[in-house]
Amino acid sequence: MYKTVLFDLDGTLLNTIDDLADSANRVCAAHGWPQHTAAEYCYFVGNGIPKLVERFSPADCRSPAQLAATLAEFDKVYGAHMHDKTAPYPGIPTLLARLKAAGVRMAVFSNKADEFARAVVARYFDASLFEIVRGALPDVPTKPAPEGTRALMAALGVKPDGGVLYVGDSNVDVETAHNAGLPCCGVLWGFRTKEELQTAGAEYLAGDAAELERVVLG
């Protein structure tokens, strides 16, 4: 049994891709730039919102000043539309309640901007489920760099050998776990593929919430 579980957010707990894609495409449309499909955005996301903005911006619109302006524009649009279509994945609220009842400690660690991560978690989940909800902060390298994960574990008072599991949906999450000395369970309902998670070296794979529960509780 794992005593502590650190969850990725987008693609793991919440299906946010349509709101992210729609918001990005609104920005693209406003500038006359090419728009992209939700499937393409599944590969644009995962490394934080500044990297998402860079990826959807045309190559000749990526100067530091332009990217900063586009990021501010995206933040405003996404802030207004982040709840249009977003929803928890099937079985996730029940899973979280069951893990909490079993005594599992839980936290969220996302590359999503901290204010957005906190906002969506507060809207869709019981606030008592997670001891800490943390998104990307200006002075902390984004995942898969280990600093943020280590700081989160320090705040929880846990160590890598203390029964901690990281759960996510992409190779970024597997690398995040491994860089912090943790095993990773890759979820198959998210933005990326089973093959990507296997290639990255995920110790476990879960096809639905029930399978994830078995991984955590043993």
> Active-site residues: which are they?
8
> How far apart, in Å, are the Cα atoms of 6 and each of 23, 35, 158?
27, 33, 11
Q: What's 162's DSSP letter? A: T
Using the structure block, give the residue that is written with the tokens 């574990």: 153
**Residue 155 structure tokens:** 């705040």
Q: Which residue, 46, 21, 48, is CA-closest to 35?
A: 21
> How far apart, in Å, are the Cα atoms of 144 and each of 8, 11, 34, 140, 177?
11, 16, 29, 11, 8
> How far apart, in Å, are the Cα atoms of 145 and each of 35, 131, 189?
30, 22, 24
C-beta of residue 200 within 8 angstroms of C-beta of residue 181: no
Residue-level length of the chain: 218
Q: Which residue, 70, 65, 69, 75, is CA-closest to 113?
A: 75
Q: Which residue, 133, 43, 139, 131, is CA-closest to 56?
A: 43
